[in-house]
Amino acid sequence: MDFELSDEQKAFRETLRAFVDKEILPVATEWEHAGRYPTEIVEKMKRMGLFGLSVPEEYGGMGADMVSFALVFEEIARGWMGVAGTIGSHSLACWMIAKHGTEEQRKTYLKDLATGARRTAIALTEPGAGTDLQGIQTRAVRDGDHYVVTGTKTWITNARHADPLPVLVKTAVTEPAHQGMSVLLVDPSAAGFSVSRDLPKLGYKGTETCEVVLDGVRVPVANLLGGVEGRGMQQVLGGLEIGRVNIAARAVGVAQAAYDAALSYARERTAFGQPIAEFQAIQLKLADLATEIQAARLLTYWAASQADGGKRVDMEAGMAKYFASEVALKASLESMRVHGGYGYSQEFVVERLYRDAPLMAIGEGTNDVQRLVIARALVSGKGRIGW
Ligand SMILES: Cc1cc2nc3c(=O)[nH]c(=O)nc-3n(C[C@H](O)[C@H](O)[C@H](O)COP(=O)(O)OP(=O)(O)OC[C@H]3O[C@@H](n4cnc5c(N)ncnc54)[C@H](O)[C@@H]3O)c2cc1C
């Protein structure tokens, strides 16, 4: 059993860590409070090749293994979770195009997506359907060599930068509904496509999250992902597995940042003539956090390495995402307690971590849904724990 990263992964982590310390941490608080888009950081991430994380090498990407993929999201979220959002759904969509796209679609998009010259996102959620994706209302009706798409998508991260935007639609009304669902790669310059508004959010700032309206948008049939109707749900669910490793890793990064802030504050802050780190009540919080964060990290990289072994990892990724996001929520609150009144101040990082943490319990499937996914795998016998 080997709990160590390979030399290559260690070197990659060091590069990422140095990038976050130098380029993200010094500006994160100010830009986040100002609601400023992290343009310069995104440009540097492009130069580092991070937009090509999940693009195969033959199309100019990094073709990163899942452990390296998780390292990227952990390290960037340690600096500023909102920045991780700029490559999160992008990577998921690239993975879907690489895995399920036709050769023509791969050739058309992947090279530019790998460099960040083009960017992408993923549009699943609608005002009336999030968890219940089979309940979406967006329809794509065939008209010659085009589909005519009508519907509204909401909570779409990176919507203003996505070209193409993969959109989950119903190409047929079937029972069960997933048999009539497909993904279309939508060109944002098409008539009838609009990003109608940016949604105001508690945290996860920097990256935009928007409502998207498709009003009779004509999409060429050639843009049907994989070229066959009715495979959309299957394509999306495979992508969400990767997405859950991404969210688990972000949660570990946020939790680590909360712990780091708590430890350094506890060493510096004095009360009753001694550093508060000397008080047992503070030490117990630090011990609990360190233990739970390390457990979350191990679960996350276990899920990632299982995915690298080529297996379906619904249960493993679900466990990692569920546990790590709950740890991030707890860590941000406990770190705030260690900071006393200063934890509530916008001059300390912990208030941002506290606002960013809840998203990880919601995005890529809520934690209650993860628990159902885990339970289903266990009850069906497909998933099991232990050796
Ligand atoms: C900041 C942000 C960014 C996002 N980015 C994207 C994006 O880029 N693309 C995208 O497509 N979506 C995105 N989302 C949407 C996100 O994936 C959904 O919000 C999430 O899947 C939950 O869906 P919902 O909000 O419709 O909640 P609902 O599905 O309405 O759930 C409400 C509650 O009911 C519970 N519930 C629902 N069904 C069940 C069930 N069967 N059993 C038990 N409990 C259930 C849920 O757990 C939850 O507690 C984003 C959301 C946010 C907040």
Per the CB < 8 A criterion, the answer to whether 169 and 140 are in contact is: yes
pLDDT in tens, 161-212: 999 999 999 999 999 999 999 999 999 999 999 999 999 999 999 999 999 9
The pLDDT value recorded for residue 1 is 82
Cα–Cα distance, 228 to 235 (Å, whole number): 11
Amino acid found at 205: K
Instruction: Please report the pLDDT score of residue 387 as a whole number.
Output: 87
For ligand 1, atom 14: residue with the closest CA: 155
d(CA 65, CA 92): 14
Active site residue 364: yes
134 lines ligand 1 (CB under 6 A): no
The pLDDT value recorded for residue 241 is: 86
DSSP state of 175: S
Would you give the end-to-end CA distance of the chain in angstroms? 12
Are 217 and 190 in contact, with CB atoms under 8 Å apart?
A: yes
Q: Whose CA is nearest to atom 9 of ligand 1?
A: 156
Q: Which domains does the chain have, with CATH numbers?
A: 7-115 (1.10.540.10), 133-230 (2.40.110.10), 234-380 (1.20.140.10)
Query: Identity (one letter) of the amino acid at 96?
Result: M
Q: For residues 36 and 50, give the distance between their C-alpha atoms in angstroms, rounded to a whole number.
A: 21
Q: Is 54 in the pocket of ligand 1 (CB under 6 A)?
A: no
User: 3 C-alpha to center of ligand 1: Å?
Assistant: 34
Across the beta sheet with 139-143, what order do the strands follow? 181-186, 165-170, 139-143, 146-157, 209-220, 193-198
Predicted confidence at residue 73, as pLDDT, reads 98
Q: Is the pLDDT of residue 117 over 90?
A: yes
Q: What spacing in Å lies between the alpha carbon of 368 and ligand 1's midpoint?
A: 10
| pLDDT tens-digit map of 60-99 | 999 999 999 999 999 999 999 999 999 999 999 999 999 9
**CA 209 to CA 182: how far, in whole Å?**
23
Which tokens go with 116?
A: 């960040």
Does 201 contact ligand 1 (Cβ within 6 A)? yes
Ligand 1 contact via 322 beta carbon (within 6 Å): no
Contact 155, 166 (CB under 8 A): no
Helix axes 314-338, 350-362, angle to 10 degrees: 160
Q: Mean pLDDT over all residues of the chain? A: 97
Half-sphere exposure of 295 (CA within 13 A, CB side): 14
Ligand 1 atom with the shortest distance to the CA of 122: 9
| Cβ–ligand 1 contact at 362 (below 6 Å) | yes
pLDDT of residue 74: 98
Q: Residues for the chain: how many in total?
A: 387
Using an 8 Å Cβ cutoff, are 382 and 147 in contact? no
